[in-house]
Chains A and B, each alone.
Chain A
Amino acid sequence: MAETPTTVLFDELRADQVELVGGKCANLGELTGAGFPVPPGFAVTTAAYERDDIGDAVSEAYAELGRRVGQSDPPVAVRSSAIAEDMPDASFAGVQDTYLWICGADAVLDGVRRCWASFHNPEAVAYREAHAITRAGMSVAVQYMVDARVAGVMFTLNPVSGDRSSIAIDASYGLGVSVVGGEVTPDSFLVSKVTREIVRRQIGAKATEVVADVEAATTVERDVPEELRTEPCVSDEEIGRLVELGRGIEAHYGRPQDVEWAIDRESGALFILQSRPETVWSNKPRPQAVAGGAMALITATMSGRKVTPGE
């Protein structure tokens, strides 16, 4: 029997390898394999957690990543990927640690070890207890980092009403951490999943952004220039591309998704940083419309009753 590997590249992973690489990495592998634009990366497996010396394997995988993107010491995000994370019944969103704009093999290894340590932090333990999660096991995702001009979150349903014909997009300048962490009021768009029409757009304050400090190999927060704050940070064309990707990812998984995305500063290319099942509305029973076909519906309407239980 071949020994369980210490690292696995995303493009060799599939969704059913959760036990080996945790939820996040398995999803990233699945998305990569399905052809979605996921920045390349690798998983440090749950098996590696048990091993003493993983330095060589991680350095080698990191070097391979560097060759793929044509950069030595490429910037990466190092994030936890627990077995029970990003699953349809529990998101674990934000409970475990993430390290951004990490450059160099030693720094990557350090990040991996810190992620492992976070597995035992009080928030993570409490979350597992609250969700009665007994399966434990921690993998780490090391993913090439996009120097994002804008980034954000996309739900392939309306997270407020549960309306599955809508796609909700929050977007702000810089790395997605500002949006995910709630540090800015992002631009917010509601788009029809079917017609692609932008149904509602709200321009947020977007006062600050988190960007890479390439020299110092870290991220910094800075003010967004006044004139950019009142402008939408994404164009309608970019929203259109996002919606197409959202539709595609939802269709691939067969259920509504919560997607993190970024647009590269230089190329303008759109990347999917992760996608997980939407967990709030998807697990609720859906209200049913009046039964009995068209005549029953007409009767209900003409009698002043609602035809679906709706709001």
Chain B
Amino acid sequence: MTEVQQSAAGFASPFDVPTPPGAEGWEEMYPYYLLFDDARRDEDDARFWFYNGMHFPEPMPAFDMITAESCYLSIGRYQGRVFSIPTVLGIEHRVVNGYVYITANEVTDPQLIEQRLATFLPRIGFYYENWDSLVDRWQSEVDARIRELGELQVPALPELEDENEAIHEQRLGPNYRLIAAYDRTLQLYNELNQLHFELLLLAYGAYLTCFQFCGQAFPAMGMQTMTQMIGGDDHTMFRPDDELKALARSALDHGVDGAFVDGRGHEEIVAELEQSDAGRAWLEDLESRKHPWFFMSTGDGFYHHHRAWVDDLRLPFTAITGYIAQIHAGRSLDRPKERLLAERDRIAAEYSQLLGSDEERASFEEMLGLCRHVFPHAEGHKFFIEHWGTSLFFNKMREIGAVMAEHGFFESADDVFYLNIHEVHEALSDLGLAWSGGTAARGTVYWPPRVARRKEILARLSEWTPPPALGFVPEVITDPTVQLLWGVTADRLRAWASQSDDEGITGYAASPGVAEGLARVVRDVNDIGTVQQDEVLVCSVTAPSWGPVFPKIAAAVSDIGGMMSHAAIVAREYGLPAVVGTGHATKLIKTGDRVRVDGDNGTVTILT
């Protein structure tokens, strides 16, 4: 494994990161504008870049890079040019050995900060004052795009076109319509991400303010308490899991719960259910609940291979089996909503009482009220953008990839994800011209070896550990989004810079309690089904859709993750200790190791 040389002053220069052996040429996968380029070396070397492992924990397949590009096309626009956030212009991203690094362009000139403030206040004031109607507007804009994406037709390229379509209906050529379908697919995904950040950044701004206030007024208050005070129970991201619980109850109602045996594959279960009326009735129930709630990605919605439940039933069936076992054991599947809300309100009221004056109490309560008001959108948006919308987007790309595969470009439809967005466009032009010209496309010989090579490169890159940061370490970090979303503060950076493997495994104490168990290291979210009862889940990233495995496990550990992650909330809900953002737990812990997870102190110890 290639190690990055760390300079005494901080982190390696992004220009000095060696390529892991076997991954030479990785740069060709990505657009020129995302690479560190010697031509802008002086500028980029003087900046601070950190690894965005929270959203992009794996090396990026060429096409999947659009998930980053599409988001950053929107985030900076809202920060810098719409809301005029006083201290930040925007976020830039680059790719190093296939991993996404980002930097914030901060505003430090006090005069410019004041100037931006004058625009900032009325604009964000309008949003907070009209939040509910703006959420409604947002929802209808998003719904329209999801609908269009779902209905979008991807034409096949036939030997001979249909007479009626081509002549009487005067339809445009399917080769052209294929290119147009790709363009529209990409547009719709970009439009969803344009909308993605309209309200979200303001919700995070409210959170961050509340966290800073609490952190300064009550230095011992943990992030989990802050999120607990804000968190509500009623938002869209719980809905998919609720459907699984309903299906577990339905299995008992239909008397088919015996088919759900731990360790049994979903194909086997479905095959058995198809044999009886009751089983078929349950399968009908399953079908009726899939849309749209099974458009839940097994990941965070940034990689094509994190399939939605609707396309990969392993995770939902594992979860349903677990829920049925819980019902058999006499445990309730209901979230203790009332108890959680009562506890949330008790904590908030007690902290409020501890403040020094009525004026402070009023500010705190108003701030907390605002955070709670924006919380359902901040959580719920993920279902529509990262899960439903993104799953449809990748599936539409699979349809396009299937046409290309049929014409000799690829071995399988999924190979399209090894071309970047611009290359797909080129390849479709190639295919369209060749079909029109009556020959085999150049791409049929051009792409297969490149796709094979890129798969090999990505395999090498996934074995490489990206350093948490690169470049120049700043004295202070003022960008509020960077602090909130990634927990990147100057202190944390110094800790990262001095971290070594033998210092044990530490991270954020995301959910309290201490538990021991055998570790199950899950690097690929598709392997989540391998988790056994009472194991400690050790994963690179905790994703919202993993909620259903929580009833089975004793504790959770992740390499990457913030306190605002849905998984942290779910861990607290199930009363499981969790330590997130450890940096390298999946590298140090092996499946079968006995580990102790201390969710109070954020430490993980390997016992054997």
- Asked whether A302 lies within 8 Å of B216 as measured between CB atoms, the reply is no
A101 to chain B minimum Cβ distance, whole angstroms, is: 37
Q: Which of B85, B221, B357 is close to A192, meaning CB atoms less than 8 Å apart? A: B221
- Asked whether A301 lies within 8 Å of B205 as measured between CB atoms, the reply is yes
Stretch of A45-53, A82-90, A127-135, A159-167 lying at the B interface: A159-167
Q: Which of B86, B363, B364, B600 is close to A302, meaning CB atoms less than 8 Å apart? A: B86
Q: Kindly list chain A residues whose C-beta atoms are within 8 Å of the C-beta of B218.
A: 163-166
- Asked whether B225 lies within 8 Å of A192 as measured between CB atoms, the reply is yes
Q: Residue A195 at the B interface, CB < 8 A? A: yes
- Asked whether A288 lies within 8 Å of B357 as measured between CB atoms, the reply is yes
Q: Kindly list chain B residues whose C-beta atoms are within 8 Å of the C-beta of A195.
A: 222, 225, 228, 347
B339 to chain A minimum Cβ distance, whole angstroms, is: 14
Q: Which of A197, A200, A286 is close to B512, meaning CB atoms less than 8 Å apart? A: A197
A159 to chain B minimum Cβ distance, whole angstroms, is: 12
Q: Kindly list chain B residues whose C-beta atoms are within 8 Å of the C-beta of A296.
A: 363
A293 to B358, CA, bound (A): 11
- Asked whether B219 lies within 8 Å of A306 as measured between CB atoms, the reply is no
Q: Kindly list chain A residues whose C-beta atoms are within 8 Å of the C-beta of B351.
A: 165, 194
Q: Residue B367 at the A interface, CB < 8 A? A: yes
Q: Kindly list chain A residues whose C-beta atoms are within 8 Å of the C-beta of B125.
A: 295
Q: Which of B117, B216, B359, B362 is close to A306, meaning CB atoms less than 8 Å apart? A: B216
Q: Which of B360, B362, B600 is close to A197, meaning CB atoms less than 8 Å apart? A: B600
A189 to chain B minimum Cβ distance, whole angstroms, is: 11
Q: Kindly list chain A residues whose C-beta atoms are within 8 Å of the C-beta of B216.
A: 289, 306-311
Q: Residue B556 at the A interface, CB < 8 A? A: no
Q: Kindly list chain A residues whose C-beta atoms are within 8 Å of the C-beta of B350.
A: 193-194
Q: Kindly list chain A residues whose C-beta atoms are within 8 Å of the C-beta of B102.
A: none
Q: Residue A290 at the B interface, CB < 8 A? A: yes
A119 to B370, CA, bound (A): 58
Q: Residue A304 at the B interface, CB < 8 A? A: yes
Q: Kindly list chain A residues whose C-beta atoms are within 8 Å of the C-beta of B120.
A: 299, 302
- Asked whether A197 lies within 8 Å of B222 as measured between CB atoms, the reply is yes
Q: Kindly list chain A residues whose C-beta atoms are within 8 Å of the C-beta of B355.
A: 289
A309 to B213, CA, bound (A): 10
- Asked whether A301 lies within 8 Å of B117 as measured between CB atoms, the reply is no
- Asked whether A288 lies within 8 Å of B360 as measured between CB atoms, the reply is yes
Q: Kindly list chain A residues whose C-beta atoms are within 8 Å of the C-beta of B205.
A: 298, 301-302
Q: Kindly list chain B residues whose C-beta atoms are within 8 Å of the C-beta of A193.
A: 350, 354
Q: Kindly list chain A residues whose C-beta atoms are within 8 Å of the C-beta of B128.
A: 294-295
B195 to chain A minimum Cβ distance, whole angstroms, is: 22
- Asked whether A297 lies within 8 Å of B367 as measured between CB atoms, the reply is yes
A: number of interface residues (CB 8 Å): 41
B: number of interface residues (CB 8 Å): 47
Contact bitstring B194-232, A, C-beta under 8 A = 1, else 0: 000000000001101100110111111110010010000
B445 to chain A minimum Cβ distance, whole angstroms, is: 54
Q: Kindly list chain A residues whose C-beta atoms are within 8 Å of the C-beta of B86.
A: 302-304
In B341-376, which residues have CB < 8 Å from any A CB? 347, 350-351, 354-357, 359-360, 362-364, 366-367, 369-370
Closest chain B residue to A162, Cβ basis: B219
Q: Kindly list chain A residues whose C-beta atoms are within 8 Å of the C-beta of B370.
A: 294
Q: Residue A201 at the B interface, CB < 8 A? A: yes
Q: Kindly list chain B residues whose C-beta atoms are within 8 Å of the C-beta of A290.
A: 363
A194 to B600, CA, bound (A): 15
Q: Residue A136 at the B interface, CB < 8 A? A: no
Given contacts A298-B209, A302-B87, A310-B216, contact A194 B225 (CB under 8 A): yes
Q: Which of B220, B359, B369 is close to A166, meaning CB atoms less than 8 Å apart? A: B220
Q: Residue A124 at the B interface, CB < 8 A? A: no
Q: Residue B246 at the A interface, CB < 8 A? A: no
- Asked whether A297 lies within 8 Å of B209 as measured between CB atoms, the reply is yes
Q: Residue B480 at the A interface, CB < 8 A? A: yes
- Asked whether A293 lies within 8 Å of B366 as measured between CB atoms, the reply is yes
Q: Which of A158, A292, A293, A303 is close to B220, meaning CB atoms less than 8 Å apart? A: A158
Q: Kindly list chain A residues whose C-beta atoms are within 8 Å of the C-beta of B70.
A: none
Q: Residue A269 at the B interface, CB < 8 A? A: no
Q: Residue A190 at the B interface, CB < 8 A? A: yes
Given contacts A288-B357, A297-B213, A304-B113, contact A310 B363 (CB under 8 A): no
Closest chain A residue to B481, Cβ basis: A302
A303 to chain B minimum Cβ distance, whole angstroms, is: 5
- Asked whether A304 lies within 8 Å of B87 as measured between CB atoms, the reply is yes
Q: Which of B209, B219, B225 is close to A301, meaning CB atoms less than 8 Å apart? A: B209
- Asked whether A289 lies within 8 Å of B222 as measured between CB atoms, the reply is no
A96 to B77, CA, bound (A): 69
In B66-96, which residues have CB < 8 Å from any A CB? 85-87
Q: Kindly list chain A residues whose C-beta atoms are within 8 Å of the C-beta of B362.
A: 293
B378 to chain A minimum Cβ distance, whole angstroms, is: 15
What DSSP secondary structure best describes chain A's contact surface? loop
Q: Residue A214 at the B interface, CB < 8 A? A: no
A157 to chain B minimum Cβ distance, whole angstroms, is: 9
A295 to B213, CA, bound (A): 13
Given contacts A192-B221, A289-B363, contact A303 B113 (CB under 8 A): yes
Closest chain B residue to A301, Cβ basis: B209
Q: Residue B429 at the A interface, CB < 8 A? A: no
- Asked whether B363 lies within 8 Å of A291 as measured between CB atoms, the reply is yes
Q: Kindly list chain A residues whose C-beta atoms are within 8 Å of the C-beta of B117.
A: 299, 303
A182 to B206, CA, bound (A): 45
Q: Residue B121 at the A interface, CB < 8 A? A: yes
B202 to chain A minimum Cβ distance, whole angstroms, is: 9
Q: Kindly list chain B residues whose C-beta atoms are within 8 Å of the C-beta of A310.
A: 215-217, 219
Q: Residue A95 at the B interface, CB < 8 A? A: no
Q: Residue A105 at the B interface, CB < 8 A? A: no
Q: Kindly list chain B residues whose C-beta atoms are within 8 Å of the C-beta of A163.
A: 218-220
In A184-235, which residues have CB < 8 Å from any B CB? 190, 192-195, 197-201
A195 to B364, CA, bound (A): 18
A34 to B516, CA, bound (A): 42
- Asked whether B347 lies within 8 Å of A158 as measured between CB atoms, the reply is no
Q: Kindly list chain A residues whose C-beta atoms are within 8 Å of the C-beta of B356.
A: 286-288
Q: Residue B478 at the A interface, CB < 8 A? A: yes
B211 to chain A minimum Cβ distance, whole angstroms, is: 9
A297 to B601, CA, bound (A): 30
Q: Kindly list chain B residues whose C-beta atoms are within 8 Å of the C-beta of A201.
A: 601
Q: Kindly list chain A residues whose C-beta atoms are within 8 Å of the C-beta of B87.
A: 302-304
Q: Kindly list chain B residues whose C-beta atoms are within 8 Å of the C-beta of A158.
A: 219-220
Closest chain A residue to B121, Cβ basis: A299
Contact bitstring A15-27, B, C-beta under 8 A = 1, else 0: 0000000000000
Q: Residue B124 at the A interface, CB < 8 A? A: yes
B76 to chain A minimum Cβ distance, whole angstroms, is: 15
A293 to B206, CA, bound (A): 12
B110 to chain A minimum Cβ distance, whole angstroms, is: 9
- Asked whether A293 lies within 8 Å of B222 as measured between CB atoms, the reply is no
A223 to B215, CA, bound (A): 41
- Asked whether B212 lies within 8 Å of A311 as measured between CB atoms, the reply is no
B576 to chain A minimum Cβ distance, whole angstroms, is: 15
Contact bitstring B112-140, A, C-beta under 8 A = 1, else 0: 01000100110011001000000000000
A241 to B113, CA, bound (A): 50
Q: Which of B121, B206, B347 is close to A194, meaning CB atoms less than 8 Å apart? A: B347
Closest chain B residue to A308, Cβ basis: B216
A304 to B478, CA, bound (A): 6
Given contacts A164-B354, A293-B366, contact A308 B217 (CB under 8 A): yes
- Asked whether B212 lies within 8 Å of A301 as measured between CB atoms, the reply is yes
Q: Kindly list chain A residues whose C-beta atoms are within 8 Å of the C-beta of B85.
A: 302
Given contacts A293-B366, A299-B120, contact A307 B225 (CB under 8 A): no
Given contacts A198-B600, A200-B220, A311-B216, 14 further A-B contacts (CB under 8 A): A158-B219, A165-B220, A166-B220, A192-B225, A197-B512, A286-B357, A287-B356, A289-B217, A289-B363, A295-B121, A297-B209, A298-B206, A302-B205, A302-B480
In order of increasing CB-CB distance, the 8 nearest A-B pairs are A310-B216, A286-B356, A165-B218, A308-B216, A301-B209, A304-B478, A294-B366, A166-B220
- 27 sampled A-B residue pairs with Cβ under 8 A: A158-B219, A161-B219, A163-B220, A164-B218, A192-B222, A192-B225, A194-B221, A194-B347, A198-B600, A199-B220, A289-B363, A293-B366, A294-B209, A297-B367, A298-B124, A299-B120, A299-B121, A301-B208, A301-B480, A302-B85, A302-B209, A303-B86, A304-B87, A306-B212, A306-B216, A308-B217, A311-B219
